[in-house]
Chain A
Amino acid sequence: MKELWKLFALFFKIGLFTFGGGYAMLPLLKAELVNKRRFVSEQELLDMYSIGQCTPGIIAINVATFIGYRQKGIRGAITTTAGMVMPSLIVIILLASVLQNFADNRYVAYAFSGIRICVAALIADVIFDLARKNIAGYMSVFVFIGALALLVGAGLSAVWIVIIAGTVSLAAGEIRRKKK
């Protein structure tokens, strides 16, 4: 029970400091779950994003549920998801009922332009860390550049990028295995 509370508190904190979508959450997840607590490895966290990207539901919730399940089964999955959504529920209900002009406030707007810059820097920081271990060898460079080209050039959705990358990797793996 105590461990479930800790999981709840941890994801409450992550939800509270996530500004933006699921990818804005990644630097926090990496700091808390990979570096500090070693719940999952960097690779496992990335795998959760690839699965979360092509399963129904928004990525942030998918990843939270995934980590909760890995830690403490179904009860863990429910706990982390509840922790993750709780700050949203509290803050939005408060704003919608009491502080209706919150988003129009000048100082809030100033603070948020600062926060957005920080989120961009945090994502850049995480990419540098992750690239070192996950882009090695030309197959991975090929997939990385190919995925970028399809995203920017063809405007393909993220779901397709993941599916195509998986298919290409599987095919390449099968060819390698046949050669042996």
Chain B
Amino acid sequence: MIYLLLFFEFFKIGLFAIGGGLVTVPFLFDLTEKYDWFSPSELADMIAVSESTPGPIGVNMATFAGFKAAGILGALTATFGLVLPSVVIIIMVAKLMQKYSCNTRVHTILEGIRPAVLALILFAGVQIAQIALTGSIEILMFVALFAMMRQWKQSPILYLGLAAVLGIALKL
């Protein structure tokens, strides 16, 4: 029963992959050795496509892997398996948070972590910048976009659209 297997494998990934979407890659690689759903080179293509399509990378890769293994129903099964542990665990955590929201210790901890999360965000941003800012035109575009964002607080979607058009116009 391939759907049960898919569900079980992606449930496991959802449960044990902690962090960003790319942490699921080693788990997906294990799947190529265990089953003949997709090959390592197909996995590489899947990662490339998942990075350059809408949606969080982790979800994209699960959908793609499930589709390769068992078509549309496979895609749905894999994605459902991936998100189920998150949904269950976060609902429990959110309930606990409501209960302890007035606890001063919980407050102290959360407040203390915020600067560390900012460091994580900065780190993620720098990693993206390292890939994206390959030349002087790219850096110029980055500075121009950043200046526009600081000046006019418009929706990120507007800037994303503009950047896509500029990318094509400038043939980056």
Q: Which of B60, B75, B172 contacts A110 (CB 8 A)?
A: B172
A13 CA to B15 CA, complexed, in Å: 26
- A103 contacts which chain B residues (CB < 8 A)? 45, 48-49, 52
- B75–A54 contact, CB under 8 A? no
A97 CA to B110 CA, complexed, in Å: 44
Closest chain A CB from B59 CB (angstroms): 4
Q: Knowing A17-B54, A62-B86, say if A114 contacts B124 (CB, 8 Å).
A: no
Name the interface residues of A148-171: CB closer than 8 Å to any CB of B. Answer: 148, 151-152, 157-159, 161-162, 164-166, 168-170
Q: Knowing A60-B59, A61-B87, say if A87 contacts B124 (CB, 8 Å).
A: no
A-side interface residues, number (CB < 8 Å): 105
- A116–B19 contact, CB under 8 A? no
Identify which of B55, B94, B170 gathers the most chain A CB atoms within 10 Å of its CB: B55
- B119 contacts which chain A residues (CB < 8 A)? 143-145, 147-148, 151, 161
The residue on B at minimum CB distance from A88 is B55
Q: Which of A15, A125, A140 contacts B55 (CB 8 A)?
A: A15
B105 within 8 A of A: yes
B76 within 8 A of A: yes
Please encode chain A, from 60 to 85, with 1 for each CB lying within 8 Å of some chain B CB and 0 for all others: 11100110011000100110010011
- B90–A62 contact, CB under 8 A? yes
- B94–A70 contact, CB under 8 A? yes
B2 within 8 A of A: no
Name the interface residues of B92-122: CB closer than 8 Å to any CB of A. Answer: 93-94, 97, 104-105, 108-122
Using a Cβ cutoff of 8 Å, how many contacts connect chains A and B?
358
- A56–B18 contact, CB under 8 A? yes
- B116–A50 contact, CB under 8 A? yes
- B124–A23 contact, CB under 8 A? yes
Q: Knowing A56-B18, A70-B94, say if A50 contacts B141 (CB, 8 Å).
A: no
- B121–A114 contact, CB under 8 A? no
B156 within 8 A of A: yes
The residue on A at minimum CB distance from B147 is A121
- A87–B150 contact, CB under 8 A? no
Q: Which of A43, A56, A108, A118 contacts B89 (CB 8 A)?
A: A56
Q: Knowing A62-B90, A65-B91, say if A127 contacts B118 (CB, 8 Å).
A: yes
**Given A103-B52, A111-B165, 5 other A-B residues pairs in contact with their CB atoms under 8 A:** A46-B113, A46-B117, A69-B90, A88-B63, A166-B109
| B interface with A by C-beta (< 8 Å) | 14-24, 45, 48-60, 63-64, 67-68, 72, 75-76, 79, 82-83, 85-87, 89-91, 93-94, 97, 104-105, 108-125, 128-129, 131-134, 138, 141-142, 145-146, 149-150, 153, 155-157, 159-160, 162-168, 170-172
